[in-house]
Structure 1
């Protein structure tokens, strides 16, 4: 799993320690930002389901729909995310018992 620190903004607030990345087992890009005071919960956590965001653009659209933005994304991060995705493109989907359980839970 890749993880890159970026800045996410919302209504004049900024989280300069937000994290974007690619999760190969779930085959999705993800974004985590704005932890609460305890650091346990996040105001924004996208990309925690199988194939939820298969492109950075899809992740950005979902981010914007929730009132957040991570654009402009630094070009070095864009290049790394694309490389992470390409490196995992031929990876077969997980098909064991845990993957079946995850799919079952996500379908509810």
Structure 2
């Protein structure tokens, strides 16, 4: 799993320590921002399901639909995310009992 620090904005606030990355087992890009005081709960956490966001554009649209933004991304982060995706895209999909169980949980 890759993790890169970026800035996410929402209305008049920003989170300069937000995290964007690619999760190979889920085959999805993810975004985490605005933790509460305990650090356990996030105001924004996208990309927690299998193939939920297969492109940065899809992740960006989902964030914007919830009132958050993270564009433009730094060029080095874009390049690293593209490399992460390309490296893991060739992996076969997860299969077996655990994968079936996770798909079952996500379908509920």
- Indicate the TM-score class for this superposition, using the shorter chain for normalisation: over 0.9
Structure 1 residues without counterparts, runs of 5 or longer: none
Give, in angstroms, the shift of residue 96 of structure 1: 1.7
Mapped to 1, the partners of 2:69 and 2:3 lie a distance apart of 17
The answer for the alignment partner of 2:16 in structure 1 is 16
Q: Which of 93-102 and 21-30 deviates more?
A: 93-102
Q: Which residue does 1:51 correspond to in 2?
A: 51
Q: The residue matched to 2:89 in structure 1 has which SS?
A: coil
Aligned-CA RMSD value: 0.5
| Number of residues of Structure 1 aligned to a counterpart in Structure 2 | 108
TM alignment of 1:75-90, pairs within 5 A: 75-90=75-90
TM-score of the aligned structures, taking structure 1 as reference length? 0.99
Partner of 1:69: 69
The structure 1 segments of at least 4 consecutive aligned residues displaced by more than 3 Å after TM superposition are: none
Indicate the residue corresponding to 2:30 in structure 1: 30
- 1:87-106 matches, within 5 Å, as 87-106=87-106
Q: Secondary structure at the match of 1:88?
A: helix
The TM-score, its normalising length taken from structure 2, stands at 0.99
Encode CA deviations 1:26-67: one digit per residue, 9 max, x unaligned.
000000000001100000000000000000000000000000
